[in-house]
Amino acid sequence: MSEGSDRWDAACQALRLLAVDPAGLKGLCLRARSGPARQTFLALLPALPLPLRKLHPTISDEQLFGGIDLAATLAGETLVINQGLAHAPGALVIAMAERAGADLAAKLAQVLDADRGHCLIMLDEGAEEAERTPPALSERLAFHVDLDGIGLGEADPTPFDLVDLDDARSLLPSVTAGPDDATVLVTLAARFGIDSLRAPLLALRVARASAALNLRDRITAEDLALAASLVYPSRATIAPAEDEPTPPAPEPPEPSPEDQLQDSETRDRTELPDELLIDAVRALLPANLLDGMVPATTSRSSSGSSGAGSKRKGNRRGRPLPPRPGRLDGTSRIDLVATLRAAAPWQPMRRKASPDAKGLLIRPSDIRLKRYEETSDRLLIFVVDASGSAAMSRLGEAKGAVELLLAEAYARRDHVALIAFRGLGAEILLPPTRSLVQTKRRLASLPGGGGTPLAAGLKAAGELAVQARSRGLSPTVAMLTDGRANITLDGMADRTQAAQDATTLARLLRAQGIPGLVLDMSNRPQDALRDLAAQMNAPYVPLPRADARRLSGAITKALEA
Amino acid sequence: MTSPFPFSAIVGQTAMKQAMILTAIDPGIGGVLVFGDRGTGKSTAVRALAALLPPIMAVEGCPVNSARVADCPEWAEIGSKKVISRPTPVIDLPLGATEDRVVGALDIERALTRGEKAFEPGLLARANRGYLYIDEVNLLEDHIVDLLLDVAQSGENVVEREGLSIRHPARFVLVGSGNPEEGELRPQLLDRFGLSVEVRSPTDIEERVEVIRRRDSFESDNATFMKRWRSADTKIRKRILTAREGLPKIVTPEPILRDCAELCMALGSDGLRGELTLLRTARALAAYEGDTTLTRDHLRNIAPSALSHRLRRDPLDEAGSGARVARTVADVLG
């Protein structure tokens, strides 16, 4: 059996269990790009005992929760109410779930929490680590299935035996859990650093469904193992066990001291429930466990408060734009005057067509919506030089300045991101966020030393800026360095090439129209940096012997200019 | 729809439960802010509390749940004069809700088809005399936050738009929850919440197992489970009702007032809202505990939840203000 077909079997097992208890297990998050495996899997979905309903990430409130069918109401002159998808139980299939915003996530979470028999299938087509489904939703769903890399030959398209599933469903209510089952699952969750109590709850329900599927009325160890291996791996935050080498994460997320304390406490207190169980789950832990956790915990804040396009032409607030014809879907507001104006010329003609009608004769095509344009949120990307030369002289000051700026960014409600470059490359210490707690924590643990890969820092900043712009933020790059670039983009120690690389990337930033700011923190102002700033079309601020407060003042001034 | 999880069956989370009970005794305290991780039972507690509370008497069909026919707003055009009992309303305010849905707007359907100018009430109207629950309150759009602030303070929703001029009562208890890692809450809104509590996942395995056990039996054997906890829930409800009656009779000694003021001065909290909330909450607690006189113990008990979110905050101080409050309380009250 190949690795792919194993994973396929696990995915099918998850779907089968979901079909046994769709409302209790809440659903499944499917991470896969479109391809034959995904296609085959979707073809199996009708096994769910619920009508399938497709959603898209921009679904309106009316479609979700129901509302007035305006077109029908106007045509028939009686109130016609549309039933929303949330009204009747169904399996909601949401495509491109990684694009779903925090607002849709909150609404769907509300639907799931209402226990009206809904289950949710999220199709996550995210290409990159940072593109993820909203955690508020994925946390509520029992299963996470990854089908990437499964070939057509490995995906077995045989449909499930529906009679078996029906039998299991009728048996489900009589399945009993043993007194220790909950203990085993909770202890296991603690060992994997899963804090949320939803995970063991869902696992227990999975175990129940699994017992029912095997036509037993008691949960066995086998069911528990299956439940743990299906529910826990995607939620694990630590790899348990002594012999397991911690994956070398670039910047391990810092658990707060209390967390660490609590982890070790819980671990000490618990007897090993069953080494077999732990092994079963550990085998399925994603390889990039710790890498994956950083975006998982932070991506939300950035997608949560940003719009879809960089223009951010919304219909809720900001500077008014001319009204535009459209449908009233609950997210937009009608421009009444414009609507009446549009309807006015047609009145005599419509009156002739329907002489008995009272009042104004308005057709759906007359409706005009209000539109507004708002300025988007600013994102300050700090690119901090943590190389040996900078560390010796000014890293402490730079940190101080960044902290001050962060406090100001907080007051202005800006978003902040932090990139550090040292050694052979650059890393994003903090993806765009508004959370100061995190920023502060990451900054405090920023180590110094090594070469100055200036080009790598600029590259990372450029990529982040473009990404942020596509989310509707306005990025600004603030670069703090002492300017002696000595590591090339591909990590070689070559001073000339390194300087050239830096210049190329500075030009690239300028071409993309990303505003910037270069702060020279070396003891003597560097011509090289002045040139670099010119290439970026960015203000150059030399700050010899500046304290943190002056540095912060300089940046604020340059940004406001 | 199944009935919500019983309030008394929620394991641990004493601070959150106490804060919610106190706002139920005296809605004037002004709302609870619950900050904490996912899956710690925040929304479960809110829904459970609503189910626990005694039903309110309201005019049938009244969009703002008026208690008397005379209080019904004119625009609602209620034909019925019947007063019926209905459960305490708990209204969810989803993120991304439009201004129209929150405050109410012109009833477009009636305006267009019948040419009538009518008001379609929003979520604030429905939340009157009940609870307005905002999950992920820290991610709420700023302009909605402004709106909420305004209404929460005045207890009245004023709509002046599209040729409408409507006002209706909107007195509700704001309950907000969120995860601070995902974004901060504006200080103005923070201050407007009466109490703030921080919830964490229980760290004790036994406690966690107990949570799972109870939830599991709630789901698999609902009827028995509800029956088992009914008496405990009723006991809490009776205590809340008794406390509501006893609340006006609580004696507040002069020294306690001084303590309140000193505590707030020492903490440097902005404005006088801190003292007022501290006093109100302490009185509610005294009533709940069946005492007739306010003592320092009451203050000590509720000071962290009433004050920790009001400190002039240092945005870079990550130790949390709870520790600062505890220290100051120990200094001032001894």
Q: Across the interface, do A103 and B96 touch by the CB < 8 Å criterion?
A: yes
The pairing of beta strand A415-422 with beta strand A516-520: unpaired
pLDDT at A97: 82
The shortest C-alpha distance from B173 to chain A (Å) reads 20
Confidence of residue B72 (pLDDT cuts 50, 70, 90): confident
Q: Which of A74, A189, A437 has the CB atom closest to B112's CB atom?
A: A74
Span B160-218, pLDDT tens digits: 776 778 888 888 888 888 876 666 676 667 777 888 888 888 888 888 888 888 888 88
pLDDT at A374: 61
Residue A202 sits at the vertex; the CA angle it makes with A200 and A203, to the nearest 5 degrees, is 60
- Tell me the C-alpha distance between A459 and B13, whole Å: 47
The more confidently predicted of residues A21 and A449 is A21
Residue B62 sits at the vertex; the CA angle it makes with B60 and B63, to the nearest 5 degrees, is 140
- B-chain residues near A336 (CB < 8 A): 106, 111, 162-163
> What average pLDDT does this structure show over B263-292?
85
pLDDT at A245: 38
Give the CA distances from residue A258 to residues A18, A188, A254, B307, in Å, rounded to whole numbers and listed in that order.
Answer: 36, 20, 11, 23
The single residue listed with the structure tokens 């028995």 is B224
pLDDT at A259: 41
Percentage of the residues of chain A whose pLDDT score is greater than 70:
74
The shortest C-alpha distance from B156 to chain A (Å) reads 23
Q: Which of B142, B180, B212 has the CB atom closest to A204's CB atom?
A: B212
Confidence of residue A271 (pLDDT cuts 50, 70, 90): very low
pLDDT at A282: 65
pLDDT value at A70 more than 60: yes
pLDDT value at A252 more than 70: no
β strands within chain B, DSSP E: 32-36, 56-59, 83-86, 90-92, 104-106, 119-121, 131-134, 156-161, 164-169, 173-178, 195-199
Q: Across the interface, do B113 and A199 touch by the CB < 8 Å criterion?
A: no
Tokens of B9: 């069956």
Least confident of A204-213, A219-228, B37-46: B37-46
Give the CA distances from residue B36 to residues A51, A216, A536, B117, B179, in Å, rounded to whole numbers and listed in that order.
Answer: 35, 39, 43, 44, 5
Q: Across the interface, do A358 and B114 touch by the CB < 8 Å criterion?
A: yes
Helices and strands (DSSP H and E) totals, chain B: 13, 11
pLDDT value at A311 more than 50: no
The single residue listed with the structure tokens 């269990």 is A17
- A-chain residues near B163 (CB < 8 A): 336
At B101, give phi and psi (nearest 5°). -70, -30
Nearest to B215 by CA among B54, B34, B48, B88: B48
Nearest CA in chain A to B315: A407
pLDDT at A528: 81
Interface test with A, best of B144, B182, B220, B224 (most A CBs within 10 A): B182
The single residue listed with the structure tokens 């919830």 is B199
The shortest C-alpha distance from A24 to chain B (Å) reads 9
Confidence of residue A364 (pLDDT cuts 50, 70, 90): confident
Least confident of A337-341, B116-120, B293-297: B116-120
- Give the single-character DSSP code of A131: -
pLDDT value at A294 more than 50: no
Nearest to A55 by CA among A80, A15, A27: A27
Q: Across the interface, do A362 and B112 touch by the CB < 8 Å criterion?
A: yes
Nearest CA in chain B to A257: B319
- Tell me the C-alpha distance between A112 and A104, whole Å: 12
The shortest C-alpha distance from B96 to chain A (Å) reads 5
- Give the single-character DSSP code of A86: T
Give the CA distances from residue A289 to residues A140, A236, A246, A248, B298, in Å, rounded to whole numbers and listed in that order.
Answer: 20, 8, 9, 10, 47
Nearest to A463 by CA among A434, A526, A505: A505
Nearest CA in chain B to A258: B203
Percentage of the residues of chain B whose pLDDT score is greater than 70:
88
pLDDT value at A298 more than 50: no
- B-chain residues near A183 (CB < 8 A): 205, 209
pLDDT value at A392 more than 80: no
Sorted by sequence, the CB contacts under 8 Å of residue A344 that are 6+ apart come out as none
- Tell me the C-alpha distance between B294 and B300, whole Å: 11
pLDDT at A250: 37
Helices and strands (DSSP H and E) totals, chain A: 23, 16
The more confidently predicted of residues A130 and A386 is A386
pLDDT at A377: 73
CA dihedral (B152, B158, B160, B161) positive or negative: positive
pLDDT at A4: 79
Nearest CA in chain A to B219: A24
Q: Which of A114, A139, A359 has the CB atom closest to B114's CB atom?
A: A359
pLDDT value at A257 more than 60: no
Amino acid type, A243: D
Least confident of A463-477, A540-554, B186-200: A540-554
Largest CA distance in chain A: 87
Confidence of residue B285 (pLDDT cuts 50, 70, 90): very high
- A-chain residues near B209 (CB < 8 A): 182-183, 186
The shortest C-alpha distance from A496 to chain B (Å) reads 40
DSSP result, B236-303: HHHHHHHHHHHGGG-B--HHHHHHHHHHHHHHTBSSSHHHHHHHHHHHHHHHHTT-SB--HHHHHHHH
pLDDT at B117: 73
Domains along the sequence of chain B with CATH: 7-199 (3.40.50.300), 249-333 (1.10.8.80)
pLDDT averaged over every residue in chain B:
81
> What average pLDDT does this structure show over A174-194?
83
Over the range A68-82, which residues count as b (16 or more CB within 10 Å of their CB) and which as e?
bbbeebbeeeeeeeb
> What average pLDDT does this structure show over A418-444?
78
Q: Which of B109, B162, B208 has the CB atom closest to A197's CB atom?
A: B208
Span A485-540, pLDDT tens digits: 788 877 777 888 888 888 888 888 888 788 888 888 777 777 888 888 888 888 88
pLDDT at A533: 85
Nearest CA in chain A to B200: A195
SS3 A545: coil
Catalytic residues of B, by residue number, are: 273
At A183, give phi and psi (nearest 5°). -60, -45
pLDDT value at A343 more than 60: yes
Q: Across the interface, do A182 and B213 touch by the CB < 8 Å criterion?
A: yes
- B-chain residues near A403 (CB < 8 A): 316
> What average pLDDT does this structure show over A436-447?
73
pLDDT value at A472 more than 60: yes
Q: Across the interface, do B136 and A106 touch by the CB < 8 Å criterion?
A: yes
Tokens of A498: 């390194």
The shortest C-alpha distance from A361 to chain B (Å) reads 8
pLDDT at A320: 66
- Give the single-character DSSP code of A247: P
Confidence of residue B287 (pLDDT cuts 50, 70, 90): very high
Nearest to B311 by CA among B280, B283, B274, B279: B274
pLDDT averaged over every residue in chain A:
75
- B-chain residues near A106 (CB < 8 A): 94-96, 135-136
Nearest CA in chain A to B162: A336
The shortest C-alpha distance from B152 to chain A (Å) reads 22
pLDDT at A268: 38
pLDDT at A453: 85
Q: Across the interface, do B205 and A190 touch by the CB < 8 Å criterion?
A: yes
- B-chain residues near A362 (CB < 8 A): 112-113
Q: Strand pairing partners for B169? A: B156
End-to-end CA distance of chain B: 51
Determine contact, residues A518/A506, Cβ cutoff 8 Å.
no
The shortest C-alpha distance from B128 to chain A (Å) reads 21
Nearest CA in chain A to B317: A437
At B330, give phi and psi (nearest 5°). -60, -40
Least confident of A161-175, A180-194, B46-60, B319-333: B319-333
Burial class (CB in 10 A: 0-12, 13-18, 19+), B81: exposed
Give the CA distances from residue A138 to residues A68, A86, A294, A535, in Å, rounded to whole numbers and listed in that order.
Answer: 31, 18, 16, 44
Burial class (CB in 10 A: 0-12, 13-18, 19+), A17: buried
Q: Across the interface, do B143 and A331 touch by the CB < 8 Å criterion?
A: no
Q: Which of A89-98, B51-60, B91-100 tops mean pLDDT?
A: A89-98
Confidence of residue A275 (pLDDT cuts 50, 70, 90): low
- Tell me the C-alpha distance between A212 and A172, whole Å: 5
Q: Across the interface, do B205 and A183 touch by the CB < 8 Å criterion?
A: yes
Nearest to A382 by CA among A335, A415, A341: A415
Determine contact, residues A147/A41, Cβ cutoff 8 Å.
yes
Q: Which of A95-109, A257-271, B231-245 tops mean pLDDT?
A: B231-245
Q: Which of B1, B94, B142 has the CB atom closest to A110's CB atom?
A: B94
- Give the single-character DSSP code of A218: B
Percentage of the residues of chain A whose pLDDT score is greater than 90:
1
Give the CA distances from residue B74 to residues A195, A279, A332, B62, B66, in Å, rounded to whole numbers and listed in that order.
Answer: 51, 68, 28, 10, 12
Determine contact, residues A329/A62, Cβ cutoff 8 Å.
yes
Interface test with A, best of B42, B208, B217 (most A CBs within 10 A): B208
pLDDT value at A267 more than 60: no
pLDDT value at A238 more than 60: yes
pLDDT value at A43 more than 80: yes
The pairing of beta strand B104-106 with beta strand B119-121: antiparallel
pLDDT at A277: 63
Q: Across the interface, do B181 and A297 touch by the CB < 8 Å criterion?
A: yes
Give the CA distances from residue A37 to residues A145, A266, B333, in Å, rounded to whole numbers and listed in that order.
Answer: 12, 40, 67
Q: Which of A113, A196, A406 has the CB atom closest to B37's CB atom?
A: A196
Domains along the sequence of chain A with CATH: 3-298 (3.40.50.300), 313-373 (no CATH), 378-560 (3.40.50.410)
pLDDT at B286: 92
> What average pLDDT does this structure show over A422-433?
81
- B-chain residues near A323 (CB < 8 A): none
Q: Across the interface, do A359 and B113 touch by the CB < 8 Å criterion?
A: yes
CA dihedral (A27, A28, A29, A30) positive or negative: negative
Q: Which of A103, A199, A440 has the CB atom closest to B94's CB atom?
A: A103
